[in-house]
C-alpha cells in the first residue's frame, strides 16, 4: 500500500473516532475568526471564546478595532497571554484591512500573511473555515501527530505543511487538521502518546513508541 493510501486509511479511522471534529473557536464572520485565531496563539480555545464574547460586543468589526486604543484592546484580551503584542497586531491588521481590502478579510493566503500577526497557520484556519478554501493548519498537535505517523520528518511547520499537502488530496486538508487536533488533545499527547487506549493504534506505524515529537 502506498504511503498516501496508508495515510488516508488512518485518517478515515480517526474521522470515525472524531466525527464532530471542527474549529473550536466561536465566530460569525471571517474577521472574527481572524481575530480569534490570532488570540489563540499560546492560549486555549476555551479561554479565547470567553474573551471574544466581550471583545466582539465592544469592537464588533475591523472599523471599531482599527480605531481602538492599545490600552482598550489590551484590557479586553489580557487573559489570553502576550496581550500587548496581540493587541498591537489586532489593531494594525484591522487598519490594513480597511486600507487595502475595503474592510474585508481577503480569501487569499498571500494577502492574509501580509497582515500584522498573521502567519500561515492563521491564514489556513481562515481560508479553510471561513471560506471553504482548503488549507492545512499545522499547529503543535498536527506537527506532533504527523511526525509520529511518519507523514513527515520535518520540524519546521511550513515544511510539514508542504509534506502533508503533497501526501493528502486537497479535499482532505482542512478536515485533516481538525481531526488530528482532536486526536492530539484526546489521546496522542505530548510527551507520551496514550497508545493503550488509542482506537487507531493498529494502523499507527509507530505504535507504542514514546517520543516527544
Contact 34, 126 (CB under 8 A): yes
Cell of 35: 481575530
Contact 17, 199 (CB under 8 A): yes
Residue 88: active-site member? no
What is the distance between the alpha carbons of residues 130 and 84, in angstroms, rounded to a whole number? 26
Catalytic site residue from 45, 88, 108, 139: 139
Residue 9: active-site member? no
Burial 188-213 (b: 16+ CB within 10 A, else e): beeeebebeebebeebbeeeeeeeee
From 10, 6, 7, select the one nearest 164 (Cα to Cα): 7
Catalytic site residue from 86, 121, 143, 163: 121
Residue 1 CB-density burial (10 A; 0-12 exposed, 13-18 middle, 19+ buried)? exposed
From 11, 3, 1, 2, select the one nearest 174 (Cα to Cα): 11
114 phi and psi, to 5 degrees? -80, -10
Cell of 184: 492530539
Residues acting as catalytic residues: 121, 139
Amino acid at each position: 500500500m502506498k504511503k498516501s493510501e496508508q495515510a488516508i486509511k488512518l485518517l478515515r479511522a480517526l474521522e470515525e473516532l472524531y466525527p464532530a471534529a471542527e474549529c473550536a473557536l466561536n465566530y460569525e464572520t471571517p474577521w472574527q475568526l481572524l481575530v480569534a485565531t490570532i488570540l489563540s496563539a499560546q492560549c486555549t480555545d476555551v479561554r479565547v471564546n470567553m474573551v471574544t464574547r466581550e471583545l466582539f460586543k465592544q469592537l464588533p468589526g475591523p472599523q471599531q478595532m482599527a480605531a481602538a486604543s492599545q490600552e482598550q484592546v489590551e484590557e479586553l484580551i489580557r487573559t489570553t497571554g502576550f496581550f500587548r503584542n496581540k493587541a498591537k497586531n489586532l489593531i494594525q491588521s484591522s487598519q490594513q484591512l480597511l486600507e487595502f481590502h475595503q474592510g474585508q478579510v481577503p480569501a487569499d493566503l498571500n494577502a492574509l500573511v501580509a497582515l500584522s500577526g498573521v502567519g500561515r497557520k492563521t491564514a489556513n484556519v481562515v481560508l479553510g473555515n471561513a471560506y471553504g478554501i482548503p488549507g492545512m493548519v499545522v499547529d503543535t498537535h498536527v506537527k506532533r501527530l504527523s511526525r509520529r505517523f511518519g507523514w513527515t520528518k520535518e520540524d519546521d511547520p511550513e515544511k510539514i505543511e508542504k509534506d502533508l499537502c503533497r501526501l493528502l488530496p486537497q479535499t482532505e486538508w482542512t478536515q485533516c487538521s481538525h481531526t488530528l487536533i482532536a486526536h492530539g488533545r484526546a489521546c496522542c499527547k505530548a510527551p507520551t502518546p496514550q497508545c493503550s487506549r488509542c482506537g487507531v493504534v493498529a494502523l499507527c506505524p509507530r505504535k507504542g513508541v514514546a517520543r516527544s515529537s
